[in-house]
Amino acid sequence: MGKKVGKQTFVIDTQPAIINTATVVGPFEGKGPLKEYFDHIYTDNLAGELSFEKAEKEMMLNACFTALTKAGKTPQEIDLFLAGDLLNQIITSGFSALELTIPFLGLYGACSTSAEGLAIASMIIESGCASNILVATSSHNSSAERQYRYPTEYGSHKKPFSQRTVTGAGAAIVSKEGNGPKITHVTIGKVEDLACKDPLNLGAAMAPAAASTLVQHFADTGRGPEYYDLIVSGDLGKFGHQLAIELAISQGGFDLSKNFKDCGLMLYDLEKQDVHAGASGCASSAVVTYGYLYKKLLDGTYKRLLLTATGALHSPISCQQGENIPSIAHSVSIEMI
């Protein structure tokens, strides 16, 4: 039976497996260095749909159905569908669930959803209530841009620390039984606020959450950073990544400089693609971990992976009313056992 260790970490005794995953990305992401690891690359931002929101739903559905097909499962064999995205009222997830016809629980953790989904899925399986859970998350550059920032055709100058919201979706099937990387520990984060206010500088706003959850994970489990082959954050970007490394040293004395990477820095070619500080959005950590890193776990490149996805829990309204940007991070240990 699962138990809580330390303050925020839960040991998952049944060690559910991620039996299969699927990722789809937009055309811009398909030009990046990880293009071979995605199941489908769209040639059109609209994915053949009539609006960016509908395109995002098409992407999430495509990822879900591809994952089901690859795992050889039908929607009827899945007990629960856990999904979240960035749009108001998480419409992408709700409308996808309508077509999947799997019992659905909506998640909102902003860009931390990829880790939140895996964490909740493994805890539900640990409880014995369910044996197969489909988790999914998505983001779309244009639908996020028009909701959080400006109309997509508005000409604005980007700051060097701004990040590009990823167009894409990722889905993973977590099962009680089956082969694949196992989820062994999850650390659920607390909401942090170090008084960042700039919605264009989310890396700086989220770095404190990443550092705090990582430090707590190491303290709770007694594992140090060196236990893992790779520790990966979701979308801190160049500047946030650097801040998280410094915070982990100053808050807990943990040296992350050797094996700490950021999905937001792996997805794009920062030199050639005009993305400023890197990638952001729910799909950033989802397509990199469910796509690239999942395959690297299967082929043995990595044996122990710690996914720490961060999310900024603000809205345009909270920012305009002068509130700080609160942030959260969840860690999931994924190990080949």
Partner 1 sequence: MARAPKKKPLTTTQKRYQEKVRKLQPRPTLFRNAILAFITGGIVCVIGQFITDLYKMLLGLSSAEAGNPAVATMIFIGALLTGLGVFDNLAKYAGAGLAVPVTGFANSVVSSALEFKREGLVLGVGSKMFMLAGSVITFGVVTAFFIGLIYAIFIY
Partner 2 sequence: MEAKIYLFSFLVGGLICMAAQLVLDLTRFTPGHVLAGLTVLGGILGGFGIYDSLVDFAGAGATMPISSFGNTLVKGAISEAQKHGVIGVLTGMFELTSTGITAAIVFGFLTAIIFHPKG
Helix, strand, coil percentages in the chain from 3-state DSSP, rounded to 5:
40, 25, 35
Contact characters 70-89, partner 1, x per CB under 8 A: --------------------
- Binding part of the chain for partner 1, among 19-27, 57-65, 235-243, 288-296 by CB under 8 A, reads 235-243
- SS3 of 119, please? helix
In this structure, the chain runs to a length of: 337
Q: Could you tell which of partner 1, partner 2, none binds residue 332, using a CB distance below 5 to 8 A set by kind?
A: none
Least distance in Å: CB of 223 to partner 2? 40
The residue from 1, 36, 72, 153 that contacts partner 1 (CB under 8 A) is 153
151 binds partner 1 (CB under 8 A): yes
Tell me, by CB under 8 A, how many residues bind partner 1.
32
CA–CA separation, 92 and 17 (whole Å): 26
201 binds partner 1 (CB under 8 A): yes
- Which amino acid belongs to residue 279? A
For the record, the structure tokens of 180 come out as 């694949």
The residue from 15, 242, 315, 318 that contacts partner 1 (CB under 8 A) is 242
Q: Which residue lies nearer to partner 2 by CB, 36 or 153? A: 153
Residue by residue, DSSP assigns 251-309 as HH----TTTEEEHHHHSS-TTTS--TT-EESHHHHHHIIIIIIHHHHHTTS-SEEEEEE
Least distance in Å: CB of 241 to partner 1? 11
Q: Which residues, 6+ apart, have CB-to-CB distance to 44 below 8 Å? A: 27
Asked if 283 contacts 139 with a C-beta cutoff of 8 angstroms, the reply is: yes
The residue from 160, 222, 271, 317 that contacts partner 1 (CB under 8 A) is 160
CA–CA separation, 240 and 210 (whole Å): 9
CA–CA separation, 111 and 74 (whole Å): 28
**Residue numbers of the site for partner 2 (CB under 8 A)?**
45-46, 52, 141-142, 145, 151-153, 156-157, 197-198
The residue from 35, 105, 193, 298 that contacts partner 1 (CB under 8 A) is 193
Contact characters 18-57, partner 1, x per CB under 8 A: --------------------------------xx------
Q: Which residue lies nearer to partner 1 by CB, 51 or 89? A: 51
CA–CA separation, 283 and 309 (whole Å): 11
Least distance in Å: CB of 235 to partner 1? 17
Least distance in Å: CB of 122 to partner 1? 32
Asked if 130 contacts 325 with a C-beta cutoff of 8 angstroms, the reply is: no
Residues lying near partner 1 in the complex (CB under 8 A) are found at 50-51, 146, 150-161, 193-196, 201, 204, 208, 238-239, 242-243, 246-247, 274, 277, 321-322
